[in-house]
Amino acid sequence: MTILVTGGAGFIGSNFVLDWLAERDEPVVNLDKLTYAGNPRNLGSLERDSRHVLVVGDIGDTRLVPILLERHRPRAIVNLAAESHVDRSIHGPDHFVQTNIIGTYHLLQSACAYWSALSGTERDRFRFLHVSTDEVYGSLDPDDVAFSENHPYAPNSPYAASKAASDHLVRAWGHTYGLPVLTTNCSNNYGPFQFPEKLIPLCIHNALAGKPLPIYGDGRQIRDWLYVKDHCNAIRLVLESGQVGETYNVGGNSEHANLEVVRTLCRLLNDMMPRANGATYQELIAFVSDRPGHDRRYAIDSGKLRRELDWRPMETFDSGIGKTLEWYLANQDWVAEVTSGAYRDWVKTQYGR
């Protein structure tokens, strides 16, 4: 048996592929367009592992995807490919509409055609798992209860709107064509291999370079934070035991204001890597203009996943953030490469494009 993972060279995708192959022997075909966010180096430890094949391509490629499905006959598709950064979606929503909406539409069509031609056990066991975000639910007030799976969709950013649209397409393909779909909506992830455009890796990178740590607005916006490996465990569990047609919220039960997150990072860095000039990292915190339409609070109720599939996060925010910092400190060459753009040259050399 084989699974097809899309976006498996990105942050969550590469953690998912690495964990999958560490946990089981089932091969992975990894379809990734290698945008700025995709980095084959994340999968360097699999270079000689015949269970992993990286295919450079687009989920919306209606020629390539059917060929891949026919050739590898996966028992499941795990769709992680997306444009994922809210700020980029504000500056240029085009790619978000293209990949997250139209790309998902084409992927669903390809999956549906493949699945429809299956029979017997192959057809019964096939699953299409779509990985989505809590941002589709919009913003909460301080005293509101956390998002459940029944919370109405109210996306506020172009990113969130494009993910919401993709969730609706997935739901409709399940409802209308009977494609066996599953959807997960997860809160903010952090951990190894996260591109240093997102809050936590950006602040680690800037802090080590002695650059300002930019806090949007008053820094009191709240996110729920989940260590990436816990998200990967949840995806595996939903794939194995989730009920077809259902959606599952995934969260860390770990709400923190942005300013608190950055101050925690600074405190840890003061101990782990004291600044040469004797100053504290907190002194680098700089308040900057707020993000337009900035959602105030996300909070996720993952009770359904806990009750039905017995999932719970293994890491607390303290343990996860400690591991994350250690990873970034030990992998400064990775950070240097992705921030210098050199890794794209490596991709051209390696894949000849």
**Which residues of the chain form contacts with ligand TYD (CB under 6 A)?**
86, 188, 198-199, 202, 214-216, 221, 223, 258, 291
Looking at the Cβ atoms of 43 and 269, the one nearer to ligand NAD is 43
Instruction: Give backbone dihedrals phi and psi of 293, rounded to 5 degrees, phi first.
Output: 70, 20
Beta strand spans in the chain (E): 3-6, 28-32, 52-56, 76-79, 127-133, 181-186, 188-190, 213-216, 222-227, 247-250, 255-257, 285-288
Q: Which of 30, 35, 109, 258 binds ligand NAD (CB under 6 A)?
A: 35
Longest alpha-carbon distance in the chain: 68
What is the rounded distance in angstroms from the CA atom of residue 287 to the CA atom of residue 143? 26
Query: Would you count residue 183 as binding ligand NAD (CB under 6 A)?
Result: no
Told to judge if 328 belongs to the known catalytic residues of this protein, a careful annotator would answer no
Name the binder of 221 from ligand NAD, ligand TYD, none, CB < 5-8 A by kind: ligand TYD
The one catalytic residue among 32, 58, 135, 224: 135
Name the binder of 186 from ligand TYD, ligand NAD, none, CB < 5-8 A by kind: ligand NAD
The contact pattern for ligand NAD, residues 109-148, with x = CB under 6 A and - = no contact, is ----------------------xxx---------------
CA distances from 191 to 101, 156, 201 (A): 27, 25, 8
Q: Which of 252, 81, 87, 107 is nearest to 160 (CA)?
A: 87
Name the binder of 81 from ligand TYD, ligand NAD, none, CB < 5-8 A by kind: ligand NAD
List all residues 6 or more positions away from 348 whose beta carbon is below 8 Å from its beta carbon. none
Look at the block and give the residue holding tokens 């004797």. 278
Looking at the Cβ atoms of 31 and 237, the one nearer to ligand NAD is 31
The one catalytic residue among 159, 190, 227, 328: 159
Told to judge if 23 belongs to the known catalytic residues of this protein, a careful annotator would answer no
Told to judge if 70 belongs to the known catalytic residues of this protein, a careful annotator would answer no
Name the binder of 37 from ligand TYD, ligand NAD, none, CB < 5-8 A by kind: ligand NAD
Q: Which residues are catalytic?
A: 134-135, 159
